[in-house]
A and B are shown apart, each in its own frame.
Chain A
Amino acid sequence: MKFIESIRNGLDSLLGNYPEVVLYGEDLIDPYGGAFKVTKGLSTKYPDRVWNTPISEAAIIGMSAGMAMCKMKPIVEIMFGDFTSLGVDQLLNHLTKYAWMYNNQVETPVTIRTAMGGRRGYGPTHSQSLEALLSTIPGLSIIAPSHYHDPGRILQQAVLEDSSVKVFSEYKLLYPQELQTPNTVKSGLTLDVSSDVYPIAHLSNCEFDNPEILIISYGGNALLLEQVLLDLLIEYELSAQCALPARIKPFDPLQIQHLISEAQVVLVVEESPKCHGWGAEVVATLSEAGLLSGKNVFRIGSAETPIPSSMAQEEQVLPSAAQIMETISQILV
């Protein structure tokens, strides 16, 4: 099954089984079915609960709070992740505030689905990964599964059982990817997905939990990292493991501390700017716990410039497998 189908099935099953679930956003009804076609077919099947909205990100995000307070389970699709910024006031000063500020008299179990990430040539305002930016909003959960997870199941779980305000980030390039299971991963790689509510997918080029290189990342970066793991194996037979938490905020990196003991290199990889990034937070937490002393620690992220439209230039700005390989080989080879 493809990533996109998994999410579509997840939405389908939510709408099919739970009348309180509604799904709305810009351009998502049939025949168009959403800018990335995720919702294709759903408005035909559930015409009352899947609808199009005007181009009003703030209003549609904000309204979801009111709906949630009326015991509905709204899912809002924001066409491009970049546009969540239009709704940041609603997320920051409204949605994530209500439950706490009102002393838990209300709940706002809202899910904002959105497509993030570059490498599609969409240029500066349609290619960003804003997880790190959004993660600075207290109380906002950020879920960013990879194709090594079961995104549809995680989405259902999030909508039904997680009462926090959630941004569900879908990496654009993942949509057409086949979901991977321990039996289907590329030769040379092993996959182990934890049984947490929001699972951590461990992708590895060795059998053991004590890799020489530990990579912590999430979402679509898995596409890059599966290549890195294979390159490390083929070029140098270096053991490396990649931990991909499905939920990156809140995420306690100490959950994976058992993987760090033998690692000589600890690498965090994200597609958003490295500066003030998610990786910085992960590294800081591990460091505060005293787990990184004597290790080579690197953050790999995008440059501090907008994301160019040109493929060649974009490659320079976003993290690349070659860049990661070079960083590692300078230390270990």
Chain B
Amino acid sequence: MENKYLLPVEDVNDDKATITRLCFNDGDLVSKGDVIYEFETTKALVEVDAEHEGHIFYAVKVSKALKTGQVVCVITNNPNYQFAISNNPQPDASYMLTKKAQAFVEKNNLDLKDLDLSGIVREKDLAALLPNGPIGHEEHILFLSRSRNDVSYLLSNPEFRKLSSEEKIEWYRIQGHEIGENCKIGDGAVLIGNKITLGSNVSIAEGAYIESPEITLNNHVTIGRDTNLVASRLKLGAFTKVGDRVVIDISGGRNTDSSFICGTNCLIASESYVNVCHQVELGDHVALSPRSMIFTHSYWQSILDGYPAQFGPVSFARDSWLGAGAQVLPNVQIGEGAIVMSGSVLAKNVNAYELVGGIPAQVIKENINKKLSPSKKMTQLEELFADFNTHLRQHGFKSRLHSARKICLDDEGSITHLSLSQAYTQEDPNSILLVLEMDETGTSPAGEIYAIQQHRAYGAPSRVGRLLTEFLRRRGIYFISSNYEQAYSLHSSTS
């Protein structure tokens, strides 16, 4: 049996009172009529008597201001009574973070201990406190730092473009930019930025012009001839290929958001145009076909003449594809795996796995993809594999289907094995690999690996390798040629 004593309302207007005296210790036995505590309202000191007998336990401390109706104490016959919930749940913190600020702290791993915070702290308050907080950072990525010698040098000196690839790379490295191994910057090509980071095997073709305060081109990115890329931030993920005479610009105005962010394995085909006055973002494995156009602003006329202003980002989720000559208008989001038919004009969002087309684009079909099980995929590949065997023989190879997943062939005396296998890679536990292995004698070229679902080929392609990729391309499986030199040497050798 526990008897709760709540702080009573003593005065009409008081919603609080202060406890001035607690007359016992926790656990003490009290009798009816004992004065158990005293409180003070704005008007008077009031003593409260026990109405029960038993052990008393106080839920509050002296001089604590309490709201009327809150528990002051309990009289119970349980000598070991414990209060379930504290009466004062709020610790007296001198500052409080908004939810956004909390997320910011976590994201940036901030230690708030030494920061002089008080009151309610917003995300922007924290950002401003940081030496390299996002505000400074944004300014940094927003504008080229003209005070930097290298930038003004590059902008004002056409001689630079005449340097060889090696000389240019050397120069960038001296200026503190990061350029990975095996990169190539073709004749007349130039990169202008405050912070340039190139991964390995990045290849920039002749006449390309890349200008952005922050340029990041990851491993195996290739940039085509006479391509012009200008943005507030430019980031291309590994194995992304940008074709010839592509234009990315910031007409419509420069913004903190005027960035072009592209995932891995993307294709931006020749003569595409992307306006990045607002952010344009491509997820992994997105393709923009030739002459695609993406706009992040529209209307030339002034709002003062009654025209609407329209600015907004555009985004493509992974695996989506924009058909040739299609146009995308501001504020459009394209869902995962969606297809936009050639020549369409896209003014509205596209849901994942939708096929849309027309002017303006309408939904033509939903759920266009099929989720195939790994075993089904293997069966399909085995059929292709058998066809490839035939294909090889037609090209004069002596080849033989050793098993459903293995071809043995004799390439001018060297024995090569081509095998299809399911493998566990870091990227995908269900990866399917086609492996061209050197023969036991060790005279054949180094092995080649084709990761089918990653669209990626590893190793310098042999004659058989080239035949294989060409064959599979026509069956709907492609591999990204990862290196400019390869791409162009292949190009020239087939023409």
Contacts and interface: CB of A to CB of B under 8 A. Distances in A.
Task: Answer whether A and B touch in the complex at a CB cut-off of 8 Å.
Answer: yes
B358 to A, nearest CB: 29
B61 interface: no
Task: State the majority secondary structure of interface residues on B.
Answer: loop
Interface stretch (A127-135, A153-161, A232-240): A232-240
B120 A188 contact: yes
A173 interface: yes
A237 B98 contact: yes
22 contacts: A35-B12, A36-B12, A37-B11, A37-B13, A172-B13, A175-B12, A175-B13, A176-B14, A176-B15, A176-B16, A187-B118, A188-B96, A233-B120, A234-B96, A234-B99, A234-B120, A235-B98, A235-B99, A236-B99, A236-B100, A237-B98, A237-B100
Nearest to A234: B98
B12 A237 contact: no
B405 interface: no
Interface string B1-21: 000000000011111100000
Interface in A168-193: 172-173, 175-176, 187-188
Contacts of B98: 233-235, 237
Q: In this complex, which of A36, A172, A176 has the most chain B Cβ atoms within 10 angstroms of its Cβ? A: A176
A176 B17 CA distance: 11
Contacts of B16: 176
A188 B13 contact: no
Given A187-B120, A234-B120, A237-B123, A4 B99 contact: no
A187 B119 contact: yes
B348 interface: no
Q: In this complex, which of A172, A230, A233, A236 has the most chain B Cβ atoms within 10 angstroms of its Cβ? A: A233
A173 B120 contact: no
Interface residues of A, number: 16
A230 B14 contact: no
Interface of A: 4, 35-37, 172-173, 175-176, 187-188, 230, 233-237
Nearest to A119: B15
Nearest to A5: B42
Nearest to B123: A237
B388 to A, nearest CB: 54
Contacts of A236: 99-100
Contacts of A37: 11-13
B391 interface: no
A230 B12 contact: no
B177 interface: no
Contact of A4 (B13, B119, B123): B13
B456 interface: no
Given A37-B12, A230-B120, 6 more contacts: A4-B13, A176-B14, A176-B42, A234-B99, A236-B99, A237-B123
Which of the four size classes fits the interface of chain B? 10 to 19
B398 interface: no
B122 interface: yes
A188 B99 contact: no
Given A233-B98, A234-B96, A235-B99, A176 B122 contact: no
Contact of A233 (B11, B15, B118, B122): B122
Contacts of A230: 120
A229 to B, nearest CB: 10
A4 to B, nearest CB: 6
A178 B118 CA distance: 22
Nearest to B119: A187
Contacts of B123: 237
A34 to B, nearest CB: 9
A236 B101 CA distance: 10
A176 B120 contact: no
Nearest to B96: A234
Contacts of A188: 96, 119-120
A267 to B, nearest CB: 21
B13 A36 contact: yes
Interface in B119-134: 119-120, 122-123
A234 B120 CA distance: 8
Contact of B13 (A176, A187, A233, A235): A176
A237 B98 CA distance: 7
Contacts of B100: 236-237
Contacts of A234: 96, 98-99, 120
A35 B13 CA distance: 9
A35 to B, nearest CB: 7
A67 to B, nearest CB: 28
Contacts of B118: 187
Nearest to B120: A188
A175 B42 CA distance: 12
Contacts of B11: 37
Which 9 A-B residue pairs are closest in the complex by CB-CB distance? A187-B119, A188-B120, A175-B13, A176-B13, A234-B98, A237-B100, A237-B98, A187-B120, A36-B12
A237 B100 CA distance: 7
A299 B89 CA distance: 33
A230 B122 CA distance: 12
A237 B122 contact: yes
A111 to B, nearest CB: 21
Contacts of A237: 98-100, 122-123
B91 to A, nearest CB: 15
A236 B96 CA distance: 14
Nearest to B95: A187
Contacts of B120: 187-188, 230, 233-234
B105 to A, nearest CB: 14
Interface in B97-123: 98-100, 118-120, 122-123
Interface string B117-157: 01110110000000000000000000000000000000000
A187 B94 CA distance: 10
A36 B9 CA distance: 13
Contacts of A233: 98, 120, 122
Q: In this complex, which of A4, A187, A235 has the most chain B Cβ atoms within 10 angstroms of its Cβ? A: A187
Interface in B1-55: 11-16, 42
A151 B361 CA distance: 61
Contacts of B42: 176
A173 B16 CA distance: 12
Contacts of A175: 12-13
Contacts of A235: 98-99
B204 to A, nearest CB: 41
A29 B94 CA distance: 44
A234 B93 CA distance: 15
Contacts of B119: 187-188
B128 to A, nearest CB: 14
A176 B14 CA distance: 6
A172 B42 CA distance: 16
Contacts of A4: 13
Nearest to B14: A176
A312 to B, nearest CB: 13
Contacts of A173: 15
A196 B404 CA distance: 90
Nearest to A187: B119
A236 B123 CA distance: 11
Nearest to A232: B98
B315 to A, nearest CB: 20
B139 to A, nearest CB: 21
